[in-house]
């Protein structure tokens, strides 16, 4: 896993990013284009909307029914908030489904010859790819 540490004197500037590692594209708010401009391989989990929504709705229901703590003591809000809160995770998942594809297209347009994009659609493809490419990798992390 990459080690990201933040320099408090220069907000948004990492002190150190390991050259080899794995991260999520969600760090772009803090890192800008540092990660994707240096990536040599992008693993794109492009799951079908049905799978994504089943996972998100199922997880939200289970968390709400079981009153599971999420972070900082937070719990899943009332299920009614799916209809009243535009930022509810279920609505967010539906709205942002195509976002990663747009990011990957932009990356390929900028750096198409310098980066490999592996597009995986569904759990079976992820499991197959991981078993072929990640066997023995944990020991190195």
Residue 37 has pLDDT above 90, yes or no: no
Residue 34 has pLDDT above 70, yes or no: yes
Nearest-angstrom CA–CA distance, 83 and 99: 22
Lowest mean pLDDT among 13-22, 53-62, 70-79, 92-101: 13-22
Q: What is the pLDDT of residue 21?
A: 62
Nearest-angstrom CA–CA distance, 112 and 102: 14
Alpha carbon separation from 18 to 34, 39, 46, 102 (Å, rounded):
12, 12, 26, 26
The pair phi, psi for residue 69, each rounded to 5°, is -75, 140
Residue 29 has pLDDT above 60, yes or no: yes
Cβ–Cβ < 8 Å for 129, 118 = yes
With a threshold of 0.85, does the pTM exceed it? no
């Amino acid at each position: 896993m990459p080690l990201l540490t933040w320099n408090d004197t220069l907000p948004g500037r990492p002190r150190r990013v390991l050259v080899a590692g794995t991260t999520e594209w969600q760090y772009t708010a803090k890192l800008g284009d540092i990660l994707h401009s240096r990536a040599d391989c992008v693993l794109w989990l492009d799951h079908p909307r049905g799978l994504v929504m089943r996972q998100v709705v199922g997880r939200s229901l289970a968390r709400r029914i079981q009153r599971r703590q999420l972070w900082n003591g937070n719990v899943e809000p009332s299920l009614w908030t799916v209809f009243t809160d535009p930022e509810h995770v279920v609505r967010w998942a539906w709205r942002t489904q195509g976002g990663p594809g747009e990011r990957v297209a932009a990356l390929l347009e900028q750096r198409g010859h310098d980066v490999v994009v592996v597009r995986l659609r569904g759990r079976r493809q992820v499991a197959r790819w991981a078993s072929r490419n990640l066997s023995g990798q944990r020991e190195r992390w």
